[in-house]
Structure 1
Amino acid sequence: MPATKNAISLVDSVSGRIVDLVRASHLDRLPTERFMSAQFGVSRGVIREATKRLELQGMLEIRQGSGMKVVDKLHKPLSSAVHLRVPDEKTRLVQLTEVRLALEPEQARLAAERATKADLKRLQDCHQRFTLCEDLETQVLADMEFHCLIAEASRNEVSSLLMQSLSDLLQSSLSHGYRRVTKDLAVDDHGKVLAAIVDRNGDAAAKAMRDHLTHARFDLGLQPKPRRTVKA
């Protein structure tokens, strides 16, 4: 039906224009439906459909009486979809680890090649916090931040977004791991990854990350655990 196709095309177009408006003007809230309707020359119904779509994609938060707030939750739809598609927690952890092994070593390699001085400083500060923290919640958050910072330092937006999408799932994975082993093993692994990135050694960074994730698989009890030692 042409009318339906035209309507869908118009909503797509307006959604894109709203995204451009947010990026160009660095908005934290959108103007009213009435204002955007006049600005874009479309009906308020089209504006409403376009903003609903952006809300589902994680870019907007719409609340009655509070307007439309710009948020950075673009990763949320994938996280939610994974929980729905793979409801069994252990199966989800197995599959998450497989995905991480495919993704994160290359992120570490790219980070070694592309990280800025500011990226390296953030990674070093995060590793220091992780080394010093004691309670489980802080350990998990610092560990998760370290992996997300490496993804950011890879300077690949798609890769970074995928890592953010996995962050909610990663939090559950890390919590399970730390209930089984101490964080000392992870601190040692993180130190090796960080040292390779700082040295700009992409191959060593990828290997260190692959080794770390293989250890995580053992720590989660997903396969038999070999003997591991931490350097004194």
Structure 2
Amino acid sequence: MLSVRDVEAGYGSMSVLFGVSLGIAEGETLSLIGSNGAGKSTLFSVITGLLAPASGEIELDGASLTRKSTSAIVDHGIVMVPEGRKLFPSLTVEENLLLGAYRKRPGDWTIGRVLDTFPILKELRRRPSQALSGGQQQLVAVGRALMANPKVLLCDELSLGLSPSAVDMVYGGLEKIRGADVSIILVEQDIARALNESDHFACMRHGRIVLEGSSATANRNQISDAYFGGSHD
């Protein structure tokens, strides 16, 4: 469904991605694992059109998205839940959700479906988003992205800055949409959480994919070695 092939990218004279390739099928969840500076957020910037690649190709359902504008990529069906949520603090929960439908594609995600999927937001829909807890805000950010009816949902560090109970709440909400009508690429530094919440994984280090496979049969020692660049005897 989504294919990233041999992508190289960077900022000015600094190269960050070196021949990155990955793919995801319809309805799958792929976890992208790696430490800070591994290139995960840069890869998301390339996929969403925020950063033009130096080389390589990005396709969705066989259509090239390479060097298209961010708005055109949203129209094709790729939407991101950004790191740090980035809600509009003065707007209510409902108003934040409705903003996600600004470039809405045809599909089944409506505000009613979002509120049914995340029931805790129903009673909070009239509150300003700044009055919510971090976990509740993260659910709003996911719901806002779903309002665009994406084919592929990019989730950047959903657990960042949240308490363990809030992380459980957010991933409990995400579980409700996994395998439905949207594919998910999940950036997550918590290796155990990333594997539990995905079908497949890809581990990045220094701008390269260094290990990938099935999350259900993943070898934790191999992933740790790939993550940190070490080795086990």
TM exceeding 0.5: no
Rg larger in structure: 1
TM-score (norm 2): 0.25
Higher share in strand: 2
Looking at both structures, which has the greater relative contact order when contacts are Cα pairs under 8 Å and sequence separation is at least 6? 2
TM-score (norm 1): 0.25
